[in-house]
Structure 1
Amino acid sequence: MSVIPKLLTVALLTCLSLAAHGEKLRIVTEPWAPYVYDDNGAMRGLDYETTVIVFHRLGVDVEWQFLPWKRCLAMLEQGHADGALDIFHSHDRDALLLYPSEPLSEVEFVLFYANERPYPAQTLDDLRGRTVGTSPGYLYGTEFTDSSLFTREPAPSHEANFGKLLLGRIDLLITDRRVGQHVIKQLGLEDKVSQAPLVVSRQQQFLAVRRGAGMDLLVQRFAAELKRFKQEPAYTVLSAKYGGLHAKNAAITAPERTVEQQESSAR
């Protein structure tokens, strides 16, 4: 038997083994709209719906659970979860997790500020002496994380960070561009919050699974099917639904009166 049929056979046996024992892949994630979120009891999002389609094509049943991100990581480390959706690649986790060669999406971390207190930062040096709202467990890049120019202040949710921003308790907040735009729209803050020009960092997001029997082959099949799906019109429609086609050009700009423009347990 050649190598490819052998790989397919082992991967198939892995899936059949899960089914025979009535087991499902236990995938954990944190709400991270518009990539994955709970919409009145229904799970939605670009990366969630993409992953559901790919696993369906592979014949793999999945059990989903929403948890705070640090709890998601703890579940993986303790063996209580099989994988995590929308996780960044970290070499510190290579001994624990397997990552497909194909990412689900790319995160672009940017800064947002209140229009009443404009801080349109173009470099990290522009943040000198400021307080920036962050989210626990997220990786924003070593330059941002290690900088002593400004203070980082965590909040329990993205909504809480925007609330602190409007109250003047923080000067800016950092989050993904699409996530920030989604929260701004949900909270009706389009006229109150603007995006700074600075792109702090970019990170690819993956569906990663714990190392185990057959998981390496499952990851290979997932990557191949994901890449195939991304080339289909259905993915183009799904991406457009969640702002994927114009995200980088959809920056929320400040009104004319304003100036022109993670720790080891990280996402």
Structure 2
Amino acid sequence: MAALLRVLALLGLLLALNTAQAEKLRLVADSWPPFADASMPGGGLATVIVTTALRRAGYDSEFEQVPWARALLGVEEGRYDVLINAWFNDSRTQIGAFSAGYLSNRVRLLKRKGDPLTFNSLNDLYPYPIAVVRDYAYSPAFDADQRLQKIPVRNFSVAVRMLAAGRVGLTLEDEYVARYFLQRESRSVRDHIEFIDPPLSENPLHILVSLKTPQHQQIIAGFNRAIDEMKADGSYERLLKHYGF
């Protein structure tokens, strides 16, 4: 009888693990094309990479697009399991576990054409109001510098229109994202905006798995392993080329 009970307990444990693995992970992101956007094929490059890697690690998933602040709060509260496109900062380790970086983002400053601004250090930016997307992390030094005049806005489109209208002196964004949105702005906006060299930072892109999600560390380990396998077998590179990277 004791042996039978041990077998039944083991079967129950295996069934519970398989059930947990079979449940769909709730993925979330804001609209951030070309990396994440529900209107793009596959939900954008980051969405496709993440869902593919998780599937290879044994996890089915479903994706929901919400504003950034709601996505972050949802991960904190456990309403979502995985934020698919997070830059690292210390405060976010209180709500989730970070994967290894799976993409790289180059953050660049933008100004109005003809403005005599040069950028060599953060000190050069102090005189200028800077439109920043609310709750985004850009770089540890930039985020922590209280002397910068940061003007929170809802998204990059709002920021760049404020910049073109002269309501702020600067804004900033990942270069691919900025170019994607500028192509969709009117000529009165895009023809009056230019990038500043050098880049502010280069940030690896991670998934952030809610600490309230069971087995969050196992999910991270499986994701990291799957990304390494995708890079080794060439499927990662094929996805980059498909999205024009």
Q: Which residue of 1 aligns with 2:127?
A: 129
SS in 1 for 2:201: strand
Query: In structure 1, the residue corresponding to 2:227 is in which secondary structure?
Result: helix
- Structure 1 unaligned segments of length 5 or more: list them: 1-9, 245-267
CA distance in 2, matches of 1:79, 1:243: 34
Cα 1:122/1:242, change in 2 over 3 Å: farther
Q: CA deviation at 1:13?
A: 6.3
Aligned residues: 230
Distance 2:36 2:93 in 1: 24
Residue of 163, 167, 170 corresponding to 1:165: 163
Query: What residue in structure 1 maps to residue 208 of structure 2?
Result: 208
Q: Do the aligned partners of residues 169 and 63 (structure 1) sit closer, same or farther apart at CA in structure 2, a change above 3 Å counting?
A: same
Alpha carbons of 1:229 and 1:127: their partners in 2 closer, same or farther (altered >3 Å)? same
Q: 2:234 — aligned with what?
A: 233
Please name the residue that 1:55 is paired with.
Answer: 54
Cα RMSD after superposing both structures:
2.5
Structure 1 position 218, deviation (Å): 2.4
Note the C-alpha offset of 1:136.
0.4
Partner Cα distance (1:131, 1:200) in 2: 16
118 and 242 in structure 1: CA distance in 2 versus 1, 3 angstrom threshold: farther
TM-aligned CA distance change 1:194 to 1:118, over 3 Å = farther
**Closer, same or farther in 2 for the Cα pair 1:235/1:218, shift >3 Å?**
same
Counterpart in the other structure of 1:145: 143
Report the AA paired with residue 59 of structure 2: V
Instruction: Give the structure-2-normalised TM-score.
Output: 0.82
CA–CA distance in 2 between the matches of 1:118 and 1:192?
A: 14
Aligned: 1:33 with 2:33: yes
Q: Kindly indicate whether the alpha-carbon contact (under 8 Å) linking 1:127 and 1:149 is maintained by their aligned counterparts in 2.
A: no
Name the counterpart of 2:75. Answer: 76
Query: What is the aligned partner in structure 2 of residue 250 from structure 1?
Result: none
Indicate conservation of the 8 Å contact 1:105/1:206, yes or no: yes
Q: In structure 1, the residue corresponding to 2:183 is in which secondary structure? A: helix
- When Rg is computed on C-alpha atoms for both structures, the one with the higher figure is 2
Aligned to 1:155: 153
- Report the Cα distance in structure 1 between the residues aligned to 2:17 and 2:92, rounded to whole angstroms: 23
Structure-1 separation of matches of 2:108 and 2:16: 44
Q: Is the 8 A contact 1:96 1:210 kept in 2?
A: yes
Q: What SS does the aligned partner of 1:137 have?
A: coil
* Match of residue 262 from structure 1: none
1:217 Cα deviation after fit = 1.9
1:95 is displaced (CA, Å) by 4.6
The aligned counterpart of 2:5 is none
Q: Percent sequence identity over matched residues?
A: 20
State how far apart, in whole Å, the 1-side matches of 2:73 and 2:61 are.
Answer: 19
Question: Partners in 2 of 1:44 and 1:118 — Cα distance?
Answer: 39
Q: Would you tell me which structure has more helix in proportion to its own residues? A: 2
CA displacement at 1:112 relative to structure 2: 0.7
Q: Distance in 1 between matches of 2:141 and 2:216?
A: 34
d(CA) in 2 for partners of 1:118, 1:12: 66
Output the CA distance in 1 between the equivalents of 2:196 and 2:15: 48
Secondary structure of the equivalent of 2:91? helix
Match of 1:106 in 2: 104
1:208 is matched by which residue type in structure 2? L
- In 2, the alpha carbon distance for the partners of 1:220 and 1:121 equals 39
- 1:19-54 Cα offsets, whole Å, 9 max, x none, are 3xxx311111111112111326x5532211111211
Please list every run of 5 or more consecutive structure 2 residues that lacks an aligned counterpart in the other structure.
1-12
Q: 1:176-215 residue pairs with structure 2 within 5 A? A: 176-187=174-185, 191-211=191-211, 212-215=213-216
The 3-state SS of whatever aligns with 1:205 is: strand
